Chains A and B, each alone.
Chain A
Amino acid sequence: MDQLKGIDWQAWIFTIGLIIFFREASVLVMSQFNHPELGNLTGLLSLLFVLVLWRRFKKIPARLVDTNNKLMRESGFAFLPICAGSLIMLVSMGKEIPLFLVVMFVSTLIPLWIYAKMAKKWL
């Protein structure tokens, strides 16, 4: 009960409402241009634009950032069904699996290490 009382409901409702509004509005606008698949990216860019504009005059509220950090920590949940699907689809590739995996592993893990090394040195 105390845990429930400790939740900043106002911040949660505002943060989730803001995200839903920008995403749905962007999908609606992009659907008018026959590119609804670009709605997510447009939503990201338009919310970013509004927040950067806000930041020029006022600080971004810490409650918004904190609540969003908590949301982002659980964002992996949204990827679970497609991740499970990718594993199943991979298994169904049959003979091509080894070659396909070689390309996937080499081209993901080597760059990951190189980018991290570069970023550690240069940032």
Chain B
Amino acid sequence: MLSVITGFLITLIAYLAAKPINKRFPQIPLLVIGMFFVIGILMIFKIPYEKYNTDMNGLFSHLLGYVTVALAIPLAAMRYDDLPLKSVVGILVFASISAVALPMSLAYLLHMSEPTIMAFATRAVTTPIAINIATLLHSPVTLVILIVILSGVIGAAFSSIILRNINDERASGLALGLAAHAIGTAQAWQRGAVAGRYAAFGMAVNAVFTAIWLPTFILFIK
């Protein structure tokens, strides 16, 4: 119990310490600053990451679950009547297919192993869906989690540079949700409520759509 409280305090201190730095340098996402603080504090107190992760796993898997479920509220509050349905469907289908095809093709061209290529299929879906798809595709689950988390971190970390000329919170949010799933969605909420809502929409629809077509497609070609 004490180690859980210690771990929680480390995470909280890292998060709170990252806030003023993020205010000073808003182009660096809060999450990126925070994770360096977590690693720094763990190193200072010589706490192995594995121990910290084991202690935090139960509590934070609940928190991650609550964040996922909480996305239902902005999704339900969103106005869909002014959304051009054909365009949105077009973007979602393109995003879902390209998010699978691009990393897998790159991994294949770079002569990576077959399990790694298969693991890249899950790059743009949120972790719970990715784990299910990984099981169906027989790809290594730990690698799949690393790919999903890292793509979210990369998308969130570089979003301020990549999206600097977009000037449309709806477009920025949707792109973040589609390309960088839950972590991208958390970053989109830092940009504002409109970006956050569109990111949640993109992430949720992409996750459900990919979870349906990808395993079906793989089972079909096998």
Most B-side CB within 10 Å, residue of A81, A87, A109: A81
Choice from B62, B71, B187, B204 contacting A76 with Cβ under 8 Å: B187
Please measure, in the bound complex, the distance between the C-alpha atom of A22 and the C-alpha atom of B175, giving whole angstroms. Answer: 28
Which residues of B from 39 to 75 have beta carbons under 8 Å from A? 39, 42, 49, 52-53, 56-57, 60, 62-75
Choice from B62, B65, B99, B106 contacting A106 with Cβ under 8 Å: B106
The interface bits of chain A over 67-108 (1 if a CB of B lies within 8 angstroms of the residue's CB, else 0) are: 011011101111111111111111000000001001111111
A interface vs B, CB < 8 Å? Answer: 15, 19-20, 22-23, 26-27, 35, 37-41, 43-45, 47-48, 51-52, 54-55, 60, 64-65, 68-69, 71-73, 75-90, 99, 102-120, 122-123
Q: Contacts A44-B72, A76-B186, A80-B15: A122 and B84 contacting too (C-beta < 8 A)? A: yes
Q: Contact between B166 and A116 (Cβ–Cβ < 8 Å)?
A: yes
Q: Contact between B150 and A90 (Cβ–Cβ < 8 Å)?
A: yes
Question: Per DSSP, are chain B's interface residues mostly helix, strand or loop, or mixed?
Answer: helix
Please measure, in the bound complex, the distance between the C-alpha atom of A107 and the C-alpha atom of B186, giving whole angstroms. Answer: 20
Choice from A40, A113, A116 contacting B68 with Cβ under 8 Å: A40
Please measure, in the bound complex, the distance between the C-alpha atom of A120 and the C-alpha atom of B47, giving whole angstroms. Answer: 46
B5 within 8 Å of A (CB atoms): no
B182 within 8 Å of A (CB atoms): yes
Q: Contact between A103 and B146 (Cβ–Cβ < 8 Å)?
A: no
Q: Contact between B150 and A104 (Cβ–Cβ < 8 Å)?
A: yes
List 10 tightest A-B contacts by C-beta distance, closest first: A51-B76, A122-B87, A116-B175, A119-B171, A107-B103, A47-B72, A86-B149, A120-B171, A78-B63, A115-B175
Please measure, in the bound complex, the distance between the C-alpha atom of A118 and the C-alpha atom of B171, giving whole angstroms. Answer: 8
B107 within 8 Å of A (CB atoms): yes
Residues in A with CB closer than 8 Å to B204 are 44, 48
Residues in B with CB closer than 8 Å to A40 are 64-65, 68-69, 128
B206 nearest CB across to chain A (Å): 10
Which residues of B from 97 to 151 have beta carbons under 8 Å from A? 98-99, 102-103, 106-107, 110, 112, 120, 123-124, 128-129, 131-132, 142, 145-147, 149-151
